[in-house]
Structure formats: structure tokens, C-alpha cells
Amino acid sequence: MKTNSVKVPESMQALYDEITAMSDAFCKEYLDAEYLELTRKMAATLARKRPSPLVNGQAKSWAAGIIYAVGQINFLFDKSNSPYMRADELCKRMGVSQQTASGRAQKIRDMLDIFPLHPDWTLPSHADDNPMIWILKVDGYMVDIRSMPREVQVIAFEKGLIPYIPADRDDKPG
């Protein structure tokens, strides 16, 4: 399994490792590699905050809150999605109360200014279905970049606004 190297302040490394050991184990057993990568990314982002919220409270509650937050963004608690898990089930398996996990998740969403379908926290497999990734302002108009000429898509990709160039995909609908 591929894991991105993440930069974490040396003073936060041990706590980051403790939190990600728990979230990694949970994601491997109950979710998938995409959740594992996003929860690691979120833990690293929180570890780099000054001051880091991770220093207050138990590592287990932060691991659960991170998984809960990533799950909310990606509709983990919606039966029509895969993977799917009920919020209370997640909390029970993490060994924390739902109030604790949801409270940590709320703090994370507020601190990182995260909302449902947030492009930075969307599972890669859900990117094609997330309009927040593809709707961009071009010449003052909101457009779905996938319907624009390839040249415009290339510019958006080079600026880091979209994850890939839709015109170059082999699996285009049609």
C-alpha cells in the first residue's frame, strides 16, 4: 500500500504516530486505503497547526474524530455509499463515545474550514462525482471545467485546481 510521506513537526511526531497507528488499523480493517491516506493527511495537517489541537485530549479520541470527519465529508454514514458504516458503529469500534468523536470532528471541520464535498478531503474514487472539484470560475462565469476545451483544462490542472485533465481520460463516458 502506498503511503504519502508527510511533514510533521518533530515535537508532534510521536503523537502523530500514535494517532495514525490507531486510524491506520481502523481503516485497514473496516474501510480502505483511500480513507487511510486521507486520515493520515488530516492528522498531519492538525499536527502542523500552531498550536496543534492534538496535544489536548486522548490520541484515541483524535483518531476517532479524524475518521469521523473524513467520513462525514465523504458520506461514510450514508447506506448508499461504499464503504458504509454507521456513526455509532465507528465510535464503538474506536472505543470512544459518539459525543466525543463527533465533537472532535466538529472541531476539526471548524479549524480546517471543511464542508461536505470539500475538494481537498474527497476520496479520490469520489472525485468524478464531486461537483465542488469541477466547477470553476472561468472569465467570471462558473463552469464545469470538464465541458471546457482541453487547453483550459490543462491550465486548471497546472494551477492545481483539478486532480487530472478530463479530456485525457480513457474512460470518458460516451
136 strand-pairing partners: 143
Q: 136-163 pLDDT, tens per residue?
A: 988 899 999 999 999 999 999 999 999 9
* This prediction's pTM: 0.85
Residue 23: per-residue pLDDT: 98
Q: State the pLDDT confidence band at 171, using cuts at 50, 70 and 90.
A: low
Q: How many other C-beta atoms lie within 10 A of the C-beta of residue 57?
A: 14
Residue 71: per-residue pLDDT: 96
Decide: 94 and 67 in contact? Cβ < 8 Å. yes
Say whether pLDDT at 3 is over 60: no
Q: 54-98 pLDDT, tens per residue?
A: 999 999 999 999 999 999 999 999 999 899 999 999 999 999 999
Residue 2: per-residue pLDDT: 35
Say whether pLDDT at 130 is over 50: yes
Residue 109: per-residue pLDDT: 96
- DSSP assignment of the chain: ---------GGGHHHHHHHHHHHHHHHHHHS-HHHHHHHHHHHHHHHHSSS-GGGSS-HHHHHHHHHHHHHHHTTTT-TTSSS---HHHHHHHHTS-HHHHHHHHHHHHHHTT--TT-GGGS-GGGGGG-HHHHEEEETTEEEEGGGS-HHHHHHHHHTTSSSS-GGG-TT---
Where, residue-wise, is CATH 1.10.472.10 in the chain? Answer: 10-117
CATH (residue range 10-117): 1.10.472.10
* Rg, Å, the chain Cα set: 18
Q: 16-64 pLDDT, tens per residue?
A: 999 999 999 999 999 999 999 999 999 999 999 999 999 999 999 999 9
Say whether pLDDT at 173 is over 60: no
Query: Percentage of the chain surpassing pLDDT 70?
Result: 94
